[in-house]
């Protein structure tokens, strides 16, 4: 049910869960997932914080909804691709999506299994690895590849934030010359192999 409670006293557009989450997504894109408050979010939609609690819940509930929305933007490769091509495509295509929303990659690295929208990606990735002959190691290999990707993206987010800070340091020039993300992913893919059948 939509509500119209406004801090300005003027009737605003209806406050709905979708509108709250869209505003939180915008704040995440501009400031990072961990760097906005419910008060700021309420200001974005022109309502009181209690209206957010009513429609979505506390900050963690809003964050969970943001994670769902961002994960829904991740393009899922066709599962008939060979395992290496599937992971290269998934993790290469995920990078620009996650970079648009700083802080999301870190949450996915630490608690990705708690994001229901990610369950389909996890299940498909593991199935691709099982079909390729990874057997019981499929879950471990999936976790290794995806955690590397999410953590590298989280590091890129952190470095970008430092680079915006006037007192922050410039990115390491040697690391900037090599795309650590792509290089690390290639090394990991080279280092894991299916169990011979």
**184 touches 146 (CB < 8 A):** no
Give the tens place of pLDDT for each residue, 7-60. 455 445 799 999 999 999 999 999 999 999 999 999 999 999 999 999 999 999
Q: Where are the domains of the chain?
A: 17-67, 74-191
Residue in the structure block whose two tokens are 């290639």: 186
Q: How many Å apart are CA 29 and CA 181, to the nearest integer?
A: 21
Distance of CA 126 to the CA centre of its chain: 19
Question: Residue 146 has which token pair?
Answer: 């995806």
Number of Cβ within 10 Å of residue 56's Cβ equals 23
Residues lower than pLDDT 70 in the chain: 1-12, 165-177, 197
Q: How many Å apart are CA 157 and CA 103, to the nearest integer?
A: 7
- CATH 3.40.50.300: does it fit domain 17-67? no
């Amino acid at each position: 049910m939509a509500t119209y409670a406004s801090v300005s006293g003027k009737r605003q557009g209806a406050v709905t869960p979708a509108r709250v989450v869209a505003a939180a997504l915008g704040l995440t894109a501009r400031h990072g997932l961990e760097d906005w408050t419910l008060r700021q979010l309420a200001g974005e939609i022109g309502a009181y914080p209690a209206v957010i609690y009513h429609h979505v819940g506390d900050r963690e509930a809003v964050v969970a909804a943001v994670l769902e929305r961002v994960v829904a933007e991740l393009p899922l490769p066709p599962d008939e691709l060979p395992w290496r091509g599937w992971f290269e495509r998934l993790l290469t295509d995920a990078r620009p999506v996650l970079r648009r929303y700083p802080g999301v990659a870190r949450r996915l690295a630490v608690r990705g299994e708690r994001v229901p929208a990610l369950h389909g990606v996890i299940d498909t990735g593991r199935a691709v690895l099982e079909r390729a002959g990874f057997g019981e190691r499929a879950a471990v290999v999936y976790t290794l590849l995806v955690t590397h990707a999410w953590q590298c993206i989280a590091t890129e987010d952190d470095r970008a934030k430092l680079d915006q800070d006037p007192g922050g340091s410039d990115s390491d020039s040697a690391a900037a010359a090599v795309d650590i993300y792509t290089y690390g992913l290639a090394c990991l893919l080279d280092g894991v192999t299916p169990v011979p059948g």
